[in-house]
Amino acid sequence: MRPMKLSVILASLALLGPSVVSLSSSVATAEENPSITAANPAAPHAEETDAERDARLAWWREGKFGMFVHWGIYSTTGGLYKGQKLPNSAEWMMARGKIPIAEYSKYADQFNPTKFDADEFVARAKQAGMKYIVITAKHHDGFAMFGSKCNDYNVVDATPYGRDIMKELAEACQKQDIRFGFYYSQAQDWHHPGGFGNGWDKTIKRVSSDEYVMKKAVPEVKQLLTDYGPIGIFWWDTPRKMSKESFDALHSLTGIQKNVITNDRLGEGYIGDYKTFERHIPAQAPVGKDWEVCMPISGSWGYKIGDNDFKSTKTLIRNLIEIASMGGNYLLNVSPTGEGTLLPPAIERLKQVGQWMEVNGESIYGTVASPLETLDWGRCTRKEANGETTLYLHVYDWPADGKLLVPGVKNNVQSASLLDGGETLRTESTDAGIVVSLPAEATDEYASVVKLTVDGTLDVEVSLPTFNRKGSLVLTADKAYINNNEGSQDAALRAHDEIPHVGYWLDKEASVEWAFRTTEPGEYEVHAVLSVEAPQTKFVISAGDQSLTADVKSTGGYGKYQEKSLGRLKINEPGDHTLRVKPVADAWNPINLRQVELRRVKK
Ligand code: H79
């Protein structure tokens, strides 16, 4: 489990309790469901011990970096419908174009990726430093990219290619020692008359969602978990409300392989093994949970002609570092074309990321989050073993004076060196922390890594934000701890004009807080930059036993921010405090909160 940051520790008491979700109420017994056998338990992993769970997740936690692949018959046209570009991601082409099933299914006739080579494909992932691959076995369009035995709308039976791509990839992954996993859209299916999502094709003669699940999703998932060798990950997507029978049937199937890892997207209450973030890195890591960020390498998940939004190699490497420094995994998506190849910009970036990983991989693999979160110069990951701690210092901004401060760390230093080239570096322990002396030039244009090994477990004094010389302290949304019942979206970090705010604040119980330090007692004016759409709203700002109630009028819309003076607050004791913003339940209307500022009142 990742170490908690200080603000999280302060807030964690409030999180204990309601976060525990019981699966026992959603478990079918073997009597109720004859397909469930002892080797195929109804509630996979329900009785697993912590040690067993750690062992099952070990390779995934160690691996950190995976390849996501979106590939389907939409790839044949590069997301173009009748030569036209549609908005959004290419795998959504059928929905965005409201393409009738009869017409869309003809794209299968064109699916013939003659340049695809499973071994070469897997080798690219491996060379990039990725340790697992997750590929769309079936996306929302309902087309199976494997030889489905229950439905001939699949790559073997319905395309000129006629080969089971999933089988070829599964075998290549095994050969090259890469874990293999399936993405399967279990709820949306725009082809089957019982699937969710297709509201445009009026020729559909609707059947129940249960019929779709039992006749298509269940047999397909079962086949994927039975006929394709060891499956590392089963990646559900876009949960919808389905019957308990449907959920249980799908959930129980993951018990076919006792080591499979699942995400949190099967349905409400089915939390799986890890939490997912899509397209963005969370401002705060979820507390005490495994998690993964998935993100396309360009703009679209599926291959889309004209999508030149490739993230730079630097962004990709720094995303990976950022996520690792917070304790998560990075699942980076690539988009094969209809021919079965990746575009040159993707190939080039994968190579460059791989070159960086070749030198610096040990600063990513097997690391955990580091408590050193706000560093002027970069990010830090951590390993702890055999009575010592290794910190990997990812230096983005090379200090001009050659002195790299690792703030607050008290441990005795064993050694410091550069990962690239191995040069030994001098260190000095000061009151402010460990200072590492760097050579004049950075070793890497993306991130130079210093390996710093110290005795024992990390002893770090986290320095809290404090007042500047003018007596002002600005607490911004991106640094806030959002107490929102473990990551519910009803009070979350968002952004307008790329400026973060706490928004979508529908939950009246949700509060926002910052830890800070003051060296002298005093009285402070409280200012906030916020927006309110409703005519009026009320919330309480508190620190210690002091509080003020802010009564704020509309700013004219959620996008219209204003600085408001909210009143005065006394802080009676020097030391560490928590500033909290909490709705007044019966007078609350949501606000978007960018920042709170405390200004010392002159005596
Ligand atoms: O597989 C990728 C996406 O296709 C899938 N999840 C990732 C991993 C996904 N499906 N739905 N969503 C993500 C969220 C829904 C987004 C929507 Fe839209 C906004 C649906 C309709 C509006 C995006 C934009 C899709 C169509 C327009």
User: DSSP characters for 288-350?
Assistant: T--EEEEEESSS-SS--TT---PPPHHHHHHHHHHHHHTT-EEEEEE---TTS---HHHHHHH
Q: Cβ distance 599 to 528 under 8 Å?
A: no
pLDDT above 50: residue 19:
no
CA of 301 to the centre of ligand 1 (A): 9
Task: Establish whether residue 89 lines the binding site of ligand 1, counting it when its CB lies within 6 angstroms of any ligand atom.
Answer: yes
Q: What value does the mean pLDDT take over residues 226-249?
A: 97
To 10 degrees, the CA torsion angle through 81, 87, 88, 94?
Answer: -30
pTM, two decimals, is: 0.80
Round to whole Å and give the CA distance between 288 and 419.
30
Q: Which two tokens stand for residue 352?
A: 């460059």
Q: Which two tokens stand for residue 493?
A: 């970090």
Identify the pLDDT of residue 326: 95
Query: In which residue are the tokens 């060379």 written?
Result: 127
Which of 67, 68, 75, 88, when mutated, tests ligand 1's pocket best, judged by the most ligand atoms within 8 Å of its CB? 88
Q: Cβ distance 275 to 195 under 8 Å?
A: no
DSSP 436-484: EEPPSS-S-SS-EEEEEEEESS--B-PPPPB--TTSEEEEEGGG-EEES
* Residue minimizing CA distance to atom 6 of ligand 1: 237
- Give the mean pLDDT of the chain: 91
Round to whole Å and give the CA distance between 219 and 227.
12
Q: What value does the mean pLDDT take over residues 414-426?
A: 98
Q: Which two tokens stand for residue 44?
A: 């996979």
Which of 70, 85, 89, when mutated, tests ligand 1's pocket best, judged by the most ligand atoms within 8 Å of its CB? 89
Atom of ligand 1 nearest to the CA of 333: 8
Task: Establish whether residue 294 lines the binding site of ligand 1, counting it when its CB lies within 6 angstroms of any ligand atom.
Answer: yes
Q: pLDDT grade, residue 6 (50/70/90)?
A: very low
pLDDT above 80: residue 195:
yes
CA of 409 to the centre of ligand 1 (A): 43
Q: Count CB-CB contacts under 10 A for residue 168.
A: 17
CA of 119 to the centre of ligand 1 (A): 30
Round to whole Å and give the CA distance between 257 and 28.
18
Identify the pLDDT of residue 487: 65
279-283 contacts: CB < 8 A, separation 24 or more? 281/319, 281/322, 281/323, 281/326, 281/328, 282/326, 282/328, 282/487, 282/493, 283/478, 283/493, 283/500
Q: Count CB-CB contacts under 10 A for residue 21.
A: 12
CA of 171 to the centre of ligand 1 (A): 30
Identify the pLDDT of residue 35: 39
* Residue minimizing CA distance to atom 2 of ligand 1: 301
Task: Establish whether residue 92 lines the binding site of ligand 1, counting it when its CB lies within 6 angstroms of any ligand atom.
Answer: yes
CA of 232 to the centre of ligand 1 (A): 24
pLDDT above 80: residue 15:
no
CA of 140 to the centre of ligand 1 (A): 10
Q: Count CB-CB contacts under 10 A for residue 529.
A: 20
The answer to which of 21-35, 67-81, 256-270, 552-566 has the lowest mean pLDDT is 21-35
Query: In which residue are the tokens 């399967």 written?
Result: 184
Residue of 399, 513, 386 lying closest to 448 (CA atoms): 399
The answer to which of 327-331, 458-462, 569-573 has the lowest mean pLDDT is 458-462
Enumerate residues 6+ apart whose C-beta is below 8 A from 450: 392, 393, 395, 404, 416, 417, 418, 419, 425, 436, 438
Atom of ligand 1 nearest to the CA of 68: 8
Task: Establish whether residue 190 lines the binding site of ligand 1, counting it when its CB lies within 6 angstroms of any ligand atom.
Answer: no
pLDDT over 70 percentage in the chain: 93
Atom of ligand 1 nearest to the CA of 136: 1
Task: Establish whether residue 278 lines the binding site of ligand 1, counting it when its CB lies within 6 angstroms of any ligand atom.
Answer: yes
Q: Count CB-CB contacts under 10 A for residue 29.
A: 10
CA of 206 to the centre of ligand 1 (A): 23
282-286 contacts: CB < 8 A, separation 24 or more? 282/326, 282/328, 282/487, 282/493, 283/478, 283/493, 283/500, 284/5, 284/8, 284/326, 284/481, 284/482, 284/493, 285/2, 285/326, 285/327, 285/328, 285/369, 286/486, 286/487
pLDDT above 80: residue 486:
no
Task: Give the tens place of pLDDT for each residue, 119-159.
Answer: 999 999 999 999 999 999 999 999 999 999 999 999 999 99
Task: Establish whether residue 301 lines the binding site of ligand 1, counting it when its CB lies within 6 angstroms of any ligand atom.
Answer: yes
Residue of 163, 170, 55 lying closest to 115 (CA atoms): 163
- Of residues 372 and 252, the one with the higher pLDDT is 252
Q: Cβ distance 178 to 126 under 8 Å?
A: yes
Output the CA torsion sign for 583, 589, 593, 599: negative
* Residue minimizing CA distance to atom 23 of ligand 1: 88
Residue of 365, 369, 380 lying closest to 130 (CA atoms): 365
Task: Establish whether residue 513 lines the binding site of ligand 1, counting it when its CB lies within 6 angstroms of any ligand atom.
Answer: no
pLDDT above 90: residue 438:
yes
Round to whole Å and give the CA distance between 185 and 298.
22
Q: What value does the mean pLDDT take over residues 161-168?
A: 98
Task: Give the tens place of pLDDT for each residue, 40-87.
Answer: 345 788 889 999 999 999 999 999 999 999 999 999 999 999 999 999
Q: What value does the mean pLDDT take over residues 576-581?
A: 94
Task: Establish whether residue 476 lines the binding site of ligand 1, counting it when its CB lies within 6 angstroms of any ligand atom.
Answer: no
pLDDT over 90 percentage in the chain: 83
Q: What value does the mean pLDDT take over residues 416-440?
A: 97
Round to whole Å and give the CA distance between 591 and 557.
10
* Residue minimizing CA distance to atom 13 of ligand 1: 238
Task: Establish whether residue 88 lines the binding site of ligand 1, counting it when its CB lies within 6 angstroms of any ligand atom.
Answer: yes
Round to whole Å and give the CA distance between 512 and 492.
10
Which of 238, 276, 334, when mutated, tests ligand 1's pocket best, judged by the most ligand atoms within 8 Å of its CB? 238
pLDDT above 50: residue 407:
yes
Task: Establish whether residue 437 lines the binding site of ligand 1, counting it when its CB lies within 6 angstroms of any ligand atom.
Answer: no
3-class secondary-structure state, position 270: strand
Q: Cβ distance 266 to 204 under 8 Å?
A: no
Task: Establish whether residue 238 lines the binding site of ligand 1, counting it when its CB lies within 6 angstroms of any ligand atom.
Answer: yes
DSSP 151: -
Round to whole Å and give the CA distance between 217 and 239.
13
* Residue minimizing CA distance to atom 11 of ligand 1: 238
Which of 234, 237, 331, when mutated, tests ligand 1's pocket best, judged by the most ligand atoms within 8 Å of its CB? 237
Strands 591-600, 546-553: pairing is unpaired
* Residue minimizing CA distance to atom 20 of ligand 1: 92
